[in-house]
Amino acid sequence: MTPEERDFYDYLNDATDLAEQGRFADSEKLLLKATEMEPTKDTAWFALGFAQYMQQKLPEAEASARKALEIRDTIGNYWGLLGNILKTQSRFVESESCLKKAVEINPKDHRSLSGLGTVLMALAKYDEAVEVCNKAIAMNPKDGEAYFALGLVHYRRDELEDAEKYVRKVLEIHPKMGQAWQALAAILQKLGREEEAADARARAMAPWFY
């Protein structure tokens, strides 16, 4: 099939296949063509925003997510994507409102719930963060982000044993997560467990080595 013979749905379907393979740059190229061909299709803008987000092209991802919402603002996943993009930029107040909207539309969206838990933790809204993270974990017991947010809440409250418990749960799910090893090292250091802290720091620096 020549480029001239391909229609919007050919581009969209092929881009979806590429994204499922983790080929986000290639997916983005096709989605740019799709949005140029059909600029009022919110699904293409959402998919484009996701492909850009996965490449950490945050300004482009934000613009695409906002375009999808401009066309249709009743889809929870669109609000969730924008909320996570803003969270990654540490724009927590803006992110909170977007993720709350995502959860309002779809209360069973555990990804938006765990993202919201992270944002609430960052905003020092600890009680609300705990409640939201526990909801996310009830829906998906392998939600590493929710466990990590709980661990950080307890760390900030100086509840170190609970902090250790939740961060170790993260590492059961994501054993090569350097950020979690770094957090564990800080917790163990405060607990006076120097040798274990040193090991965790080493794993944080090169988690792929272990």
Is 9 inside any structural domain?
yes
Each residue's pLDDT, cut to its tens digit, for the chain (210 residues) gives: 555 557 999 999 999 999 999 999 999 999 999 999 999 999 999 999 999 999 999 999 999 999 999 999 999 999 999 999 999 999 999 999 999 999 999 999 999 999 999 999 999 999 999 999 999 999 999 999 999 999 999 999 999 999 999 999 999 999 999 999 999 999 999 999 999 999 999 999 876 665
The gap from C-alpha 57 to its chain's centroid, in whole angstroms, comes to 14
- Return the pLDDT at 209: 63
Is 65 inside any structural domain?
yes
Is 56 inside any structural domain?
yes
Is 27 inside any structural domain?
yes
- Which residue range(s) make up the domain with 4? 1-72
Could you tell me the pTM of the whole model?
0.89
- d(Cα 31, Cα 128) in Å, to the nearest integer? 38
Is 40 inside any structural domain?
yes
Is 64 inside any structural domain?
yes
Q: For residue 41, what is the domain's CATH number?
A: 1.25.40.10
Number of domains making up the chain: 1
Long-range contact list for 111-115, CB < 8 A, 24+ apart?
111/80, 111/84, 111/136, 111/143, 111/145, 112/76, 112/79, 112/80, 112/83, 112/84, 113/139, 113/146, 114/143, 114/145, 114/146, 114/149, 115/80, 115/83, 115/84, 115/87, 115/145
- Return the pLDDT at 206: 79
Is 33 inside any structural domain?
yes
